[in-house]
Structure 1
Amino acid sequence: MLIAALTRRVASSGTRPLLTYYDGAADTRTELSATTFANWVDKTANLIADLGHEDGDPIDIALATTHPGHWVALVWIAAAWQRGYPVNTTPTGADLLVVGPDDNRRAAQTVACSLHPLGRGFPDTPGDALDYVEVFAQPDVHDEIPSALGDVLDGQVVPTVAARDTRLLLPDPVAGEGLILEALVSPLLGTGSTVVAVGLSDERLAAVAATEHATIIA
């Protein structure tokens, strides 16, 4: 469902903003158009394949819980679904685990993400993990192996949601299925877009909402 919607969005309005992420602590802003987001998804899907992860096996994307709504977490979720992998947002013992910069949990294979706004890697190689910066070496080839079940999140097929055509600002979002549906799936089904803001004051949030022409959703 999601990848088909992303493909349509790239074809119809690929240069328009899809996802914008504000990190208040780092004072950074990252904006991804549908085309740029799809490029990251393709590269990440190819990285997963290069790691030898078996088709249909789940991926534990712990990053989706430790850093909910972060653009890198959403890229990983979309990439997993592109290749038909079920996604768990907490570690379940899957062979492949995706973590953030301060998460020392490890699996048989672990990819650690620095969460740099431009996708740069760690200053030092994380122990017992692959630095996500290696994704830049992957081709932009679209490699899709859709699951017969559809997109699976935490053991359940992602439900059908209404398409969204608006631009919403989600401040300090809470991890879970609802966030993933609202931030990514729903706007892709329509013509909408999402701004995620973490660690901003109320005054700063109001300014960002005005600048981004977005409606704040509490």
Structure 2
Amino acid sequence: MAANPAGPRITFYDDATGERIELSTATLANWAAKTGNLLRDELGATPGSRVAVLLPAHWQTAAVLFGIWWIGAEVVLSGEADIALCTADRIDEADAAAGMGEIAVLSLDPFGKPVADLPVGLTDYATAVRVHGDQIVPERSPGAALEGRSADDVLAAARASAAAQGLSGTDRVLATAAWETADDIVERLLALYVVGASLVQVANPDLAAMERRTDSEKITRATP
């Protein structure tokens, strides 16, 4: 990914709202760094901390995942956690996962608006993350990376998935599927990134818009 810092890394559409936002490798890295600094400096995450990610397939979720990994913490998608990041409609799940731990809530608003009527004691991600630095030194002694798998195991799985899918660094992949499991994250996000491909992720897809988008976004392949 670093070989093409200015190239598009993730382009996100929401066809229900008309939203489109595109992040280069450098911009995604800056968001990931800001997230990692927020987790470590404000929410108390340390190497080995379990961080519940209760978020949809979204560009901010990609930044959250890399931010967690940069500080050596572990992404978990279910079960107990030390910290949770969630959308407003999943606060109850986050509370059940994190217990007395910290919870940050994402509005996912493209303009960075905070979550409306956020309960006292919860952190608004959009407000909090903007004050943190966009550079970070990766943790050299990380814990598990993804649902108990080590970083090496996750990378190996991503490379194997990329090979099985026939992905290359020139691919621009159109996708609508969710990232609900560890395998989803490996196959639908990391497999692309491990070979330097680019992702166009669409929420609430409009089929007519998808047909036009294939040409406008120079899509090379679409996933089911």
SS in structure 2 at match of 1:80: helix
Per the alignment, residue 185 of structure 2 pairs with 180
Q: Percent identity?
A: 27
How far has the Cα of 1:206 moved from its partner? 1.2
Shift of 1:147: 4.0
Separation of aligned partners in 2, 1:95 and 1:61? 11
**Distance across 2 between alignment mates of 1:76 and 1:141:** 14
* Aligned pairs for 1:57-96 within 5 A: 57-63=49-55, 67=56, 69-90=57-78, 92-96=79-83
Q: Distance in 2 between matches of 1:128 and 1:138?
A: 20
**Aligned counterpart, 2:165:** none
Instruction: Name 1:112's counterpart in structure 2.
Output: 105
Corresponding position of 1:144: 138
Tell me how many residue pairs correspond in the alignment.
203
Instruction: Output the amino acid matched with 2:68.
Output: A
Q: Distance in 1 between matches of 2:46 and 2:70?
A: 14
1:109-145 deviation line (CA, Å, top 9, x unaligned): 1000000123332244444310001100001221310
CA-CA distance at 1:174 after TM superposition: 5.0
Counterparts of 1:174 and 1:180, CA distance in 2: 5
Whole-angstrom CA distance in 1 between matches of 2:179 and 2:211: 20
> TM-score, structure 2 length as denominator?
0.82
Q: Is structure 2 residue 205 aligned with structure 1 residue 200? A: yes
Unpaired stretches in structure 2, ≥5 consecutive residues = 163-167
Structure 2 distance, partners of 1:213, 1:179, is 24
The answer to whether the Cα contact below 8 Å between 1:81 and 1:146 also exists between their aligned partners in 2 is no
CA contact (8 A) 2:45 2:73 kept: no
- Helix, strand or coil for the counterpart of 1:87? strand
**SS of equivalent residue, structure 1 residue 103:** helix
Aligned partner letter, 1:145: E
- Residue identity opposite 1:96 in structure 2: I
| Structure 1 alignment gaps of length 5 or more | 1-8
Measure the CA separation in 2 of the matches of 1:173 and 1:210.
23
Partner of 1:117, secondary structure, is coil
Measured in 2, the distance between the counterparts of 1:203 and 1:146 equals 47
Do 1:112 and 1:132's aligned partners in 2 also have CA atoms closer than 8 Å?
A: yes
Using the TM superposition, name which of 106-115 and 51-60 deviates more: 51-60
Over aligned residue pairs, what C-alpha RMSD do you find?
1.9
Residue 216 of structure 1 aligns with an amino acid whose one-letter code is A
Aligned to 1:18: 9
Residues 14 and 20 in structure 2, CA contact (< 8 A), matched pair in contact too: yes
Cα distance per residue 1:71-129 (max 9 Å; x no partner): 11121111111111111012x22120110122222232100000012333224444431
Structure 1 equivalent of residue 194 of structure 2? 189
**Does structure 1 residue 99 correspond to structure 2 residue 86?**
yes
Could you say which residue in structure 2 is the equivalent of 1:6? none
CA distance, structure 1, for counterparts of residue 177 and residue 193 of structure 2: 21
In the aligned structure 1, how far is the partner of 2:69 from the partner of 2:38? Answer: 14
Mapped to 1, the partners of 2:59 and 2:215 lie a distance apart of: 21
CA distance in 1, matches of 2:180, 2:141: 24
Which residue type is aligned with residue 156 of structure 1?
A: R
> Secondary structure at 1:119's aligned position in 2?
coil
